[in-house]
Amino acid sequence: MKKEFNIVIEQDEDGFYIGSVPDLPGCHTQAKSLDELNKRIIEAIELYLEVDKDRLNKTIKFIGFHKVEVFFEET
């Protein structure tokens, strides 16, 4: 069986790339390069699905990302 997942990729202040899978709550990993991140996120998804195979039957429709700007006072 083959299934595609959307991955959110961010970069922290130390330069690490962080990948998370919105369809699989709690499924995330990090790496120093995007190539390594890709390998690790695939491994994380495979391990996640070994534990929760029922997740494959649940469909979440990907719509997109939206950015909002929030102003706040620093204390």
For 9-38, write each residue's pLDDT tens digit: 999 999 999 999 988 889 999 999 999 999
Token pair for residue 2? 């083959």
Token pair for residue 39? 């390998």
Instruction: Pick the closest to residue 28 from 52, 54, 37 (CA basis).
Output: 37
Token pair for residue 69? 């700007």
pLDDT of 33 reads: 98
Quote the domain boundaries for residue 45.
Answer: 8-56
18 forms bridges with which residues in the sheet?
10, 30
Instruction: Pick the closest to residue 21 from 33, 13, 29 (CA basis).
Output: 29
Average predicted confidence (pLDDT) for the chain: 89
Residue 70 lies in a domain: no
Residue 73 lies in a domain: no
CATH number at residue 51: 3.30.160.250
Per-residue pLDDT band at 70 (split at 50, 70, 90): very high
Give this prediction's pTM: 0.77
